[in-house]
Amino acid sequence: MHPLWSLSPWQRVVGLTLLVIFMVYVIDRTAVPLKSGSQILRLSVPDESTCSKHQEKSKYLEQTLKEGELSESQLTAITDGSLNFTRGSPLEELVRFPETKNSSTVVSEDAQRSSPPESVRFSELKYFLNGGSEDTKTSKFDKILWKPEIGNWLAKCGEAAPILVAEQFDSRVCEGNCRGRGVCNHDKGICRCFHGHTGNGCELEEKFVCFDDESDFWVTAMGNWRVSKCGAWCDTKRSFCYCGQGTKYPDRPVAEACGFSWKDFTMGIIDWDVPDSSLFSNKSDSIGWCNWRVEDFLRTEKIPAGEKCVCKYDGAAGLLCEIPVESFCINQCSGNGRCYGGSCACVEGWHGIDCSIPSSLSSFKSWPYWLMPGVVKRTDASGSWQDQSLQVLVEKRRPLIYIYELPPRFNSHLLEIVILEGLLSSVHRTANAEEADFFYMPMLGACAIQRADEAPHMKLEREVRITRTQFSAELYREAYEYVRTAYPYWNQSQGRDHIWLFPWDEGACSAPKEIWNSMMLVHWGNTNSKYNYSTTAYWDDNWDRIPRVWRGDHPCYDPEKDLVIPAVKRPDTTFLPTNQWARTREERPILFYFNGNLGSHYWGRPEPGYSMGLRQKLAKEFGSEPNVESELGKQRNPDVIVTYKRSDSYSDELSKSRFCGVLPGDGWSGRMEDSILHGCIPVIIQDGIHLPFENVLNYEQFALRVAEDELPQLISILRKVNDSRIDSMLSAVKAVRPRFAYTSAYHLEEKRQKHRGRAHTDWMRNLDAFSDQIPVDAFSTFIQVLQFKLSNRTWRKITANLDEGYSSRQDYCSSKILP
């Protein structure tokens, strides 16, 4: 070999050029060789000796990986540098990576910026969203807290074997590229138009008035309470009311009562027929809301019409809406778009409600982690990426959940988002509906209930509009009609593998009869064993008024198929590090605690039927504060607190209590979550109504039920509980506590903020410190319940390749189940 200095200049140039080309090829080379199709298929079948044999191989893997060798140029391996394929899994056998591609690789600052938002501590986040199934201990460590059948199954079968799932993404073109007024669904070639636009290419504009004054229907339906009226300028694209042109601040909201005059200021009554002209005043001695400056506020410390006018609409904050803030969108568009009026405007190549579905136009730098680790296959290696479809082989674990892509009118303005964001980000998500075990309907009905009072364009057919709950549930029925006709999957199981969320006061009581076969996620678990009628005191939500021909005769909740999930409670990150929730019995001097609305005798709700009268009875017996008649409870005790007064030390008082009351409001209340999250033993006083996860967790370990008829004997019952029993229950509360918090949701938000380069705030640091103590949360508990349901899905057929006399109940997690 000749030394470099002995070569001629042109030889050096040629040699160095070839070396550079070779190095670029090696570094940028993303193709990986595959083994033969037969080998791959054998690897995808779980070991017959394991408990996870019911997790069958991917049905479409055989179509994806043909017999023989595939061209290396057709495949691209996808990871983010912090995630490897599971050791010994099918996907690890499928690809080869450089030795430096491991979880300990130091990633440069530039590389971190280009990697997905969730790349930091990705394995931890995947663990949360995977139902804790990466650690074989997770299904056993709290086995005693599950009901025996479920706990035994999870202990034996909770570790699902990894399989390969083929995810297909097309690159269809939409009409006019949606004209900048919507997002193109490249899989279907259909535009998802922004609010205020419609048509195949979003070429048409829609108008949404702020008040329907063409007839007297609104008055008939809603009486004189017309919060939808606009006393200023109406944005007919969104049915929002603003100050409008001619004012100093045309984009300042004039929401609801803000635009109208007082009828009785002392009673807080608005005259909805008389607009408040003072809002537009520009006189020096009486400047109105629409012209009031921040300097005016600093000078006077007053806000005109401050009792009525608030910064209600998304996108602005501050007393005068003077602070622009980031608008809310699902998963904040996953970093692949911008938020536009509650909907995501995705960048080229991405689509979906949160811009997390790729196409051949998408950059691998922002590849979603629900598609990692994976191998991307091009349809034709000779063509350009823009002309091709992508097929991604992804390593996943069951259950697999398909999330429907619904027209925006079903979910363009969103409220209850934790479950949806979790599913969209979860490793259990699949875009291959043929492989899915469950189908999630991304309906956000509580938001529709809120807007039913304020947006006339939301009204459905007028003969249908009876109650707010039926109004919202009619959207569910229309969504059912849409998926039943647009997709084949509903009819395959008559909807039994579909999941709907009903988060409002009385949950699925008002669900249309057509969807009742499905799984309902609710906060109100009324089995109708005692209360087979509406229990709300709010007249416009009373489902008794819904015609039976529309609703059917179903209960509000069926524990055999439905699930009560916890309400979302924002963690008090100043409270978390103190570990006050872990106080012992000796550190809890308060025997019983309840703080909340106690009815009319305590300046609260005037309706006798509020809380089914239970809170009122509790206060009558044990009230620790004088009522309107200056009376205390008949059985008041110094170690019993029953109060209506809101307390700044609410968390501290809960964490100093041994037992905490769980009573209903206008349906569900968040008192169960408050009790558990503060380490207090919940005392449930609501007959026949389930609390979160009560049909799957062993409530006897950590909660007490007191019959409503025994409410006067409540304190006597509690004093009879011996110390060892209290200690045992407090320990069980600590163990079950993580399952009542949506910790993974806050980790998602934390990682989104880190990705945007925002400072590591105190709440992030406190949450990080606390998360190390939490192996599971409410979302992962939901996933584990789906795992159990998957193995016991009676609507599916058992395969015929089992021996005669085989009993699926004897080895229920090894039965192979076909769709």
353-362 mean pLDDT: 87
For the chain, what is the mean pLDDT?
75
Give me the percent of the chain exceeding a pLDDT of 90. 35
Which tokens in the block code for residue 586? 């000796």
Are 112 and 756 within 8 A, CB to CB?
no
> pLDDT-based confidence at 554, cuts 50/70/90?
very high
Q: Range with the lowest mean pLDDT among 8-17, 339-348, 589-598, 694-703? A: 8-17
Amino acid at 126: K
Q: How confident is the model at residue 343 (pLDDT cuts 50, 70, 90)?
A: confident
Instruction: Evaluate if residue 313 carries a pLDDT over 60.
Output: yes
Is 715's pLDDT higher than 50?
Answer: yes
Q: Tell me: pLDDT of 449 over 70.
A: no
pLDDT digits (tens, 9 = 90+) for 525-551: 999 999 999 999 888 788 998 889 999
- Of 220-234, 238-252, 483-497, 603-617, minimum mean pLDDT range: 220-234
Statement: residue 242 has pLDDT above 80: yes
Residue 511 has pLDDT above 60, yes or no: yes
At residue 2, the pLDDT reads: 54
How far apart (Å, rounded) are the C-alpha atoms in residues 153 and 421? 28
**pLDDT above 70 as % of the chain:** 68
Which CATH number among 3.40.710.10, 3.30.465.10, 3.30.2310.20, 3.40.50.2000 corresponds to the domain 576-741?
3.40.50.2000
| Position 71 pLDDT exceeds 90 | no
Mean pLDDT value across residues 600-609: 93
Q: Is the pLDDT of residue 51 over 70?
A: no
Min mean pLDDT across 328-332, 607-611, 737-741 is at: 328-332
Whole-angstrom distance, CA of residue 716 vs CA of residue 798: 53
pTM of the model: 0.79
Structure tokens, 458: 């939301």
Decide if pLDDT at 471 tops 50.
Answer: yes
pLDDT of residue 46 exceeding 50: no
Would you say 662 and 704 are in contact if contact means Cβ atoms under 8 Å apart?
no
What contacts 571, CB < 8 A, 6 or more positions away? 677, 741, 743, 746, 767, 770
For residues 219 and 213, give the distance between their C-alpha atoms in angstroms, rounded to a whole number: 9
pLDDT score of 644 more than 80: yes
Q: 129-133, 139-143, 568-572 — which one is most confidently predicted on average?
A: 568-572
Cβ within 8 Å of residue 415, ≥6 positions away: 444, 446, 447, 450
Band of residue 133 on the pLDDT scale cut at 50, 70, 90: very low
The pLDDT of residue 267 is: 73
Lowest mean pLDDT among 190-194, 497-501, 667-671, 688-692: 190-194
Residue range 342-358: mean pLDDT, rounded: 88
Lowest pLDDT segment from 115-119, 163-167, 354-358, 394-398? 115-119
Q: How far apart are CA 68 and CA 40, in angstroms?
A: 11
pLDDT digits (tens, 9 = 90+) for 394-420: 888 889 999 998 876 666 544 357 888
CA distances from 117 to 336, 644, 756, 797 (A): 11, 44, 8, 41
Q: Read off the pLDDT of each residue in 330-341 and give the average, rounded to a whole number.
A: 85
More confident residue, 188 or 72: 188
pLDDT at 746: 79
Kindly state the average pLDDT of the residues 676-691: 97
Which range is least confidently modeled, 514-518, 545-549, 581-585, 757-761? 757-761
Q: So what's the pLDDT on residue 218?
A: 40
Spatial neighbors of 73 by CB under 8 A, at least 6 apart, are 31, 378, 381
pLDDT at 50 over 50: no
* Whether pLDDT at 312 is above 50: yes
Decide: helix, strand or coil at residue 705: strand
Residue 801 pLDDT: 32
State mean pLDDT over 135-154: 66
Label residue 690 by pLDDT band (50, 70, 90).
very high
Residues 169, 360: contact at Cβ < 8 Å?
yes
pLDDT at 42: 21
Mean predicted confidence (pLDDT) in 378-387: 54
CA distance 455 to 23: 62
Is pLDDT of 192 > 60? Answer: yes
Of residues 337, 304, 290, 31, the one with CA closest to residue 184: 337
Domain segments of the chain as ranges: 1-30, 32-102+132-171+368-397, 217-324, 576-741
Q: Give the confidence band of 14 by pLDDT, cuts at 50, 70, 90.
A: low
> Is a pLDDT exceeding 60 seen at residue 309?
yes
**525 vs 689: CA distance, rounded Å:** 5
Instruction: Please state the separation of Cα 416 from the chain's center in Å.
Output: 6
Pick the range with the lowest mean pLDDT from 51-55, 325-329, 509-513. 51-55
- In the chain, the largest separation of any two C-alpha atoms, in whole Å, equals 108
Count of C-beta atoms within a 10 Å radius of residue 185? 20
Q: What is the pLDDT of residue 620?
A: 96
Q: Which of 62-76, 148-162, 197-211 has the lowest mean pLDDT?
A: 62-76
Q: Which residue has the higher pLDDT, 114 or 75?
A: 75
pLDDT of 489 > 90? The answer is yes
